[in-house]
Amino acid sequence: AQTVTQSQPEMSVQEAETVTLSCTYDTSESNYYLFWYKQPPSRQMILVIRQEAYKQQNATENRFSVNFQKAAKSFSLKISDSQLGDTAMYFCAFMRASGGATNKLIFGTGTLLAVQP
Amino acid sequence: GAGVSQTPSNKVTEKGKYVELRCDPISGHTALYWYRQSLGQGPEFLIYFQGTGAADDSGLPNDRFFAVRPEGSVSTLKIQRTERGDSAVYLCASSPMSGMHYNEQFFGPGTRLTVL
């Protein structure tokens, strides 16, 4: 069974600074996807960034980038130039990519990020 | 276009009652997922629909939980004889099975269920 671990329950960062959120996962699959989702107080899960395991290049989306270490099963999220609107719960998630798989997401327990003015 | 919508936004019920939670997916998305998010936890998978059929219901906790998607669009999650432990936020997500957003799940705002 796959598991996702987020070891930082809460983090704080000053506005305009950079912060890194950690995520590790466990799987025997060779082909899969990894995601970071943001959940503000409105409860709406918003996709921040995705990474295909077969791609060696780390994904980037504007101020958001990942450090994907496949051998170490590590998938951290870096947020640059933090903004007040980045304050939210962040979830790391895993999805199998095998043919015929359900494609359900397996989530970690989340990291609550507070951006301080 | 419109995103995934869920109704009601909040539902308070008494122990032992029956509840229905509704999900309207993004038009054209053939895959639909239900997740349950307990306080302080990440969402946990409940059930997955591909079209009208439940392709995977392995996450349903027991036979009090049931979900349908009769026309391949709107889905209803039904909970019988509710228990206090059923209190959680129920999230719905839909996904296209082709195109640039293939395998990406788009979430609704959730229904917060409180069982007194």
Q: Establish if B69 belongs to a structural domain.
A: yes
Number of domains chain B is built from? 1
Q: Does B101 score more than 80 pLDDT?
A: no
Please write down the HEC assignment for all residues of A16-36.
CCCEEECCEEECCCCCEEEEE
Q: Does A102 score more than 80 pLDDT?
A: no
CB contact under 8 A, B42 and A110: yes
What gap in Å lies between CA A47 and CA B44, rounded to an integer? 17
- Length of chain A counted residue by residue: 117
* Percent of chain B surpassing pLDDT 90: 84
Average pLDDT over residues B89-116: 91
A53: which 2 tokens? 């395991």
Q: Does A64 score more than 80 pLDDT?
A: yes
Across the interface, of B33, B105, B109, the residue whose CB is closest to A43 is: B109
Chain B positions in Cβ-Cβ contact with residue A37 (cut-off 8 Å): 107
CB contact under 8 A, A45 and B44: no
Higher pLDDT, A42 or A99: A42
Q: What residue type is B61 in one-letter code? A: P
Q: For residue B43, which phi and psi values (nearest 5 degrees)?
A: -60, 145
Confidence of residue A35 (pLDDT cuts 50, 70, 90): very high
A112: which 2 tokens? 């609550």
Nearest to A109 by CA among A48, A32, A22, A41: A22
pLDDT tens digits, residue range A39-62? 998 888 999 999 999 998 999 999
Q: What is the pLDDT, as a whole number, of residue A99?
A: 63
- Residue range A3-116 forms a domain whose CATH class is mainly beta
Q: Establish if B105 belongs to a structural domain.
A: no
DSSP B68: E
What gap in Å lies between CA B95 and CA B75, rounded to an integer? 14
CB contact under 8 A, A102 and B56: yes
User: Domain span at residue B60?
Assistant: 5-96
Which residue from B minimizes the CA distance to A50? B104
Q: Establish if B53 belongs to a structural domain.
A: yes
Q: What is the pLDDT, as a whole number, of residue B1?
A: 57
Q: What is the pLDDT, as a whole number, of residue A103?
A: 83
CATH number (domain holding residue B86): 2.60.40.10
CB contact under 8 A, A106 and B107: no
CB contact under 8 A, B44 and A107: yes
Q: Establish if B107 belongs to a structural domain.
A: no
Q: Establish if B104 belongs to a structural domain.
A: no
Reply yes or no: is the peptide bond before residue B8 cis, omega within 30 of 0. Answer: yes
What gap in Å lies between CA B77 and CA B86, rounded to an integer? 13
CB contact under 8 A, B104 and A47: yes
Q: Establish if B81 belongs to a structural domain.
A: yes
Q: Establish if B22 belongs to a structural domain.
A: yes
Average pLDDT over residues B43-62: 94
**Residue A84 in 3-state DSSP?**
helix
Chain A positions in Cβ-Cβ contact with residue B106 (cut-off 8 Å): 47
What gap in Å lies between CA A113 and CA B11, rounded to an integer? 28
pLDDT tens digits, residue range B15-46? 999 999 999 999 989 999 999 999 989 999 99
Confidence of residue A97 (pLDDT cuts 50, 70, 90): confident
Spans of all domains in chain A: 3-116
Nearest to A97 by CA among B102, B61, B15: B102
What gap in Å lies between CA A24 and CA A66, rounded to an integer? 12
Which residue from A minimizes the CA distance to B49? A102
Across the interface, of B55, B56, B91, the residue whose CB is closest to A45 is: B91
Q: What residue type is B98 in one-letter code? A: S
What gap in Å lies between CA A93 and CA A34, rounded to an integer? 6
